């Protein structure tokens, strides 16, 4: 094991896959000469040269679409978006082309492509720069979506995403790029897409949370333990396909579920997981499923407002206590 920052784990995954397969290239704004807006691709231009580490103008629709075409011809592009907020001007390319061309062609075309970048709120950036896009994109069949919470998962899952023959959306977080963690140094380390990780086991309640919400859930679980409440914390790691079986299995023993999801509440990830759990675990539930999400308003700027808007440890603890009638 080696201790790496999240950004270094992403870089290691991309570097290893580019060394392994010359059809893999990285394209995006500032990825080459600037060394990456968030330094994820630092040094990669020196190693791979401008043919494979490609700077773009600010044209998300253009370079997303270009890479979809290149993927149709057998290349395996990694498309870096500076943040997922900026994919809304590439929405048609991702939704109409990446997700649907295989289906509309009756299976003739395949699009092995990874779209990656920072997702979710990252401080006081205002409404346009604080979107959690997993709910939007997970509504579209034909896309895989991964949202890891730690460097080890980031490396193993990004390598799997690059090798996958389907379009994969890889959601990172600007607030987590500097997060350190132990990362496997095993040769050819990959983690299968679609498998949850049970991070903590407890009998009283199940908390499920992905990406940076996972850390809220863990902090809440530690605090609850001090109060005598033992929580199971599940990190789904993948949003599509969602590893619902792991949640079902856990809820059948704990009988209570809290979902922490930075998406906005209406039609969010928590809505879908909550629905599936009430259907699959109806007779096992001892309390209604609770959720902790962003507020149902655009993200505000002021420090106190954005803090109130975000899911929090306190809200997570309160939600758990509600399921326990505490």
Partner 1 sequence: MAGTSTKKKAPARKRAGSKANGTAAFTPDVPDVQIFRQSGHTHESLGLSPETVLDMYRNMLLQRRFEERAAQMYGRQKIAGFLHLYIGQEAVSTGAVWAIRDTDPIITAYRDHGLALARGMGANEGMAELFGKIDGCSRGKGGSMHFFDVEKHFYGGHGIVGGQIPVGVGMGFASKYKEDGGCSLTFFGDGAINQGAFHEAANLAALYDVPALIIVENNAYAMGTSVERSRGDAQLYKQGYPYGMKTAVIDGMDLFEVYGAFKQIADDARGEADGQTKPYFVEVQTYRYRGHSMSDPQKYRTKEEMEAKKNEDPIVRTRLYVLENDLATDEQLDQIDEDVKAEVMASVEFAEQSPLPDISTMYEDVFVGDVPRVQ
| Site membership for partner 1, residue 97 (CB under 8 A) | yes
Residue 9 CA, chain-centre distance (Å), reads: 15
Report the DSSP beta bridge partners of residue 235: 197
| Site membership for partner 1, residue 267 (CB under 8 A) | no
- Does the active-site annotation cover 210? no
- Report the distance separating Cα 203 and Cα 251, nearest Å: 9
Q: Cα torsion for 198, 222, 292, 6, to the nearest 10°?
A: -60
Q: Which of 8, 17, 60, 290 is catalytic?
A: 60
**CA nearest neighbour of 144 among 157, 130, 129, 131:** 157
Q: Which of 129, 134, 174, 262 is catalytic?
A: 129
| Site membership for partner 1, residue 186 (CB under 8 A) | no
| Site membership for partner 1, residue 7 (CB under 8 A) | no
Judged by CB under 8 A, which stretch of 80-88, 159-167, 224-232, 261-269 contacts partner 1? 159-167
| Site membership for partner 1, residue 68 (CB under 8 A) | yes
**CA nearest neighbour of 116 among 154, 149, 163, 66:** 154
Judged by CB under 8 A, which stretch of 39-47, 98-106, 254-262, 300-308 contacts partner 1? 98-106
3-state SS assignment for residue 5: strand
Among 12, 14, 101, 247, binds partner 1 (CB under 8 A): 101
In whole angstroms, the minimum distance from the beta carbon of 269 to partner 1 comes to: 12
In whole angstroms, the minimum distance from the beta carbon of 94 to partner 1 comes to: 11
**CA nearest neighbour of 279 among 257, 264, 297:** 257
Cβ nearer to partner 1, comparing 27 with 176: 27
Residues marked active site are found at 60, 129
């Amino acid at each position: 094991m080696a201790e790496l920052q999240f950004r270094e784990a992403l870089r290691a995954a991309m570097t290893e896959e580019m060394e392994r397969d010359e059809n893999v290239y990285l394209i995006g704004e500032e990825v080459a000469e600037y060394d990456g807006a968030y330094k994820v691709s630092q040094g990669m231009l020196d190693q791979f040269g401008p043919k494979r580490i490609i700077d773009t103008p600010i044209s998300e629709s253009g370079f997303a679409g270009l890479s979809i075409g290149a993927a149709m011809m057998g290349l395996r592009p990694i498309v870096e978006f500076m943040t997922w907020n900026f994919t809304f001007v590439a929405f048609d390319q991702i939704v109409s082309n990446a997700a649907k061309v295989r289906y509309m062609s009756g299976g003739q075309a395949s699009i092995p492509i990874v779209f990656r970048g920072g997702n979710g709120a990252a401080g006081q950036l205002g409404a346009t720069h604080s979107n959690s896009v997993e709910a939007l994109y997970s509504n579209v069949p034909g896309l895989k979506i991964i949202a890891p919470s730690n460097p080890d998962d980031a490396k193993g899952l990004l390598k799997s995403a690059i090798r996958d023959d389907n379009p994969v959306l890889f959601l990172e977080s600007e607030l987590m790029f500097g997060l350190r963690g132990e990362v496997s140094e095993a040769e050819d380390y990959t983690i299968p897409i679609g498998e949850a990780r049970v991070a903590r086991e407890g009998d009283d309640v199940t908390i499920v949370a992905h990406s940076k919400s996972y850390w809220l859930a863990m902090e809440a679980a530690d605090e609850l333990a001090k109060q005598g409440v033992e929580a199971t914390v599940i990190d789904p790691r993948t949003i599509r396909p969602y590893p619902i079986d792991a949640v079902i299995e856990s809820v059948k023993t704990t009988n209570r579920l809290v979902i922490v999801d930075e998406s906005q509440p209406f039609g969010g990830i928590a809505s879908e997981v909550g629905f599936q759990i009430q259907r699959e675990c109806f007779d096992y539930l001892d309390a209604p499923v609770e959720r902790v999400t962003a507020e149902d308003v655009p993200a505000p700027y002021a420090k106190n407002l954005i803090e109130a808007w975000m899911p929090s440890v306190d809200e997570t603890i309160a939600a758990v206590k509600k399921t326990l009638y505490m």
